[in-house]
Amino acid sequence: YSILQITEPNEFDIMLVMPVSRLQLDESDDTGAYYYLAFKRTPKEKYLLKFLDEDGKLSAFKMLQALREIIKQEVKNIKNVEVTVTRKKAGSPAVTLQIKNPPSEISVDIILTLEVQQSWPPSTQEGLKIEQWLGTKVRREFRFRSIYLVAKQNKREKVLRGNTWRLSFSHIEKAMMNNHGNSKTCCESDGPKCCRKGCLKLLKYLLEQLKMKYPKELEKFCSYHVKTAFFHSCVMWPNDTDWHLGDLDHCFQKCLGYFVDCLQKSQLPHFFIPQYNLLSLEDRASNHFLSRQISHQLNNRFPIFQE
């Protein structure tokens, strides 16, 4: 939906958003991103009570299982298209549908998401440093929006019970992409055009191509890594004049340079939760592998784009 797919539009993400009144969030580790959820008092949404585990925590595992069953039943009623529910991927927050029919096969991820109208947890306090780029008012307005939590298993959980939830900011990321300018008219029909979106598309495309070439070495990486590096770049170069449409190649190389730097240090702070490092030190070998591959592309005028 952020119109950032480069090649065939064959993968779609749909967030299935369920509003919940109030929740108690307890951090499940030191990242500040993963939480156990409990109800502060009996919820208005009584149907949710059957998804509590023995400790009274809202079980992501049980809810995903129930959603999966509903989708499996519904898919049987679809007549004119061949739709299958793919096998469950361990730790994935999504139920994935494969839809076969011309012109091409597509996969749709349905992601179970809770929406809670309450203030953002303390781990986000120092994040979203967009004051110089989009302004203090915009930051304040974003932080008044609801919290999204997706049913995502925390691999660092002491006992893997599958009842952790991860904060998601995709609604805010979408808003930042749609109003990405330092001036309010950037990229509007009669406003000046910039190359920010073009940059992010190229970053995603480069990673996609490298992942296809080295699937095993780069399996740890996903487009969220480059998206995060891109948002940090927008903060480092906040002015629209830093992103002239004609400077795409220069801007792309600047963003890549920053990302390579992060890979070499194995340090890429989550844009909204700065204490959460998206590049762990345990993965130093694959971080360095990717940084070497990107540097090779940078120094040789991107041979992978010509392939």
Using only C-alpha atoms, the chain has a radius of gyration, in whole angstroms, of 21
pLDDT score at 157: 64
| pTM for this entry | 0.92
Q: How many CB atoms lie within 10 A of CB 262?
A: 20
Residues 209, 227 share a domain: yes
Residues 270, 130 share a domain: no
Q: How many domains does the chain have?
A: 2
Q: Which helix (H) or strand (E) holds 94?
A: strand 94-100
Its domain, for residue 64, covers 1-179
Please say whether the beta carbons of 60 and 162 come within 8 A. Answer: yes
CATH of the domain at 189: 1.10.1410.40
Residues 174, 278 share a domain: no
Residues 235, 87 share a domain: no
Boundary residue ending a domain (179, 200, 225):
179
Residues 278, 191 share a domain: yes
CA dihedral 240→170→30→255, nearest 10 degrees, is -30
Which runs of E-coded beta strand occur in 172-246? none
How far is residue 100's CA from residue 8's CA, in Å, rounded to a whole number? 15
Residues 190, 170 share a domain: no
What are the per-10-residue average pLDDT scores of the chain (307 residues)? 57 90 91 93 87 91 92 89 82 83 82 95 97 96 96 72 88 95 89 94 94 95 96 97 94 96 97 96 94 95 88
- 294 CB-contact burial (10 Å; exposed 0-12 / middle 13-18 / buried 19+): buried
CATH of the domain at 163: 3.30.460.90
Per-residue HEC secondary structure of 185-215 comes to CCCCCCCCCECHHHHHHHHHHHHHHHHHHCC
pLDDT score at 1: 42
Residues 245, 163 share a domain: no
Closest CA to 150 of 68, 65, 92, 229: 92
Maximum CA extent, the chain: 61
pLDDT score at 105: 86
